[in-house]
Homo-oligomer: A and B are copies of this chain.
Amino acid sequence: MSQQDDIREMLDHHAISKLMVHYAERIDANDPEGAAACFAPDGIGHYWGKFVGREAIAQRLTGILDAFTATSHHLSNIKLTLSGDTATGLSYVYAFHRYAGSHDPMHYWGRWKDRLVRIDGQWLFAEREVVGVGQYLKDDPPSTNPLPGHPGRASRI
């Protein structure tokens, strides 16, 4: 690749990273509409169920966020495959949650699997799925519904 190609790739990576940071910030601000606005108008959000369009996504996020008095979604390890005005992404999230009335945090380790699209120069989520790798709340029994784990994780044992 030429340096110009490398710069373009880095600019797209940066723009998408900013979208992801903004999404997490809006979630933690308890602003489901602001988070849903990070999706394309016909975007698809998978939150233990499939929700299509910003309104349905905002409504679903409201239901999820109402359980908590505080959340903190720490984003990292952004991996992207870019192709013109579309992209796919895998990124990591560690999320701290505090339930109303509870002192002990609920911890969540997951992945965001994304399809992205650039519309009028703005990157947006075409599809976003949350994939659980681990979850923990003190004194909570192990889940009987195991988490899917890291996408494509090899099971050698």
> A103 and B29 in contact (CB under 8 A), knowing A72-B133, A77-B74, A150-B70?
no
> A77 and B11 in contact (CB under 8 A), knowing A30-B154, A72-B134, A94-B96?
no
Contact stretch, chosen from A19-27, A41-49, A50-58, A112-120: A19-27
A3–B13 CB distance below 8 A: no
Task: Give the number of copies in the complex.
Answer: 3
A156–B22 CB distance below 8 A: no
Of the candidates B14, B65, B66, B134, the one whose C-beta lies within 8 Å of that of A10 is B14
Which residues of chain A have a CB within 8 Å of any CB of chain B? 3, 6-7, 10-11, 13-14, 18, 21-22, 24-25, 28-31, 62, 65-66, 70-79, 90, 92, 94, 96, 98, 100, 103-105, 107, 109, 133-134, 136, 141-142, 147, 149-157
B78–A21 CB distance below 8 A: yes
A103–B155 CB distance below 8 A: no
Q: A25-B79, A29-B152 are in contact. List 8 more A-B contacts (CB 8 A).
A: A21-B79, A25-B90, A28-B150, A72-B92, A74-B109, A75-B77, A96-B133, A105-B136
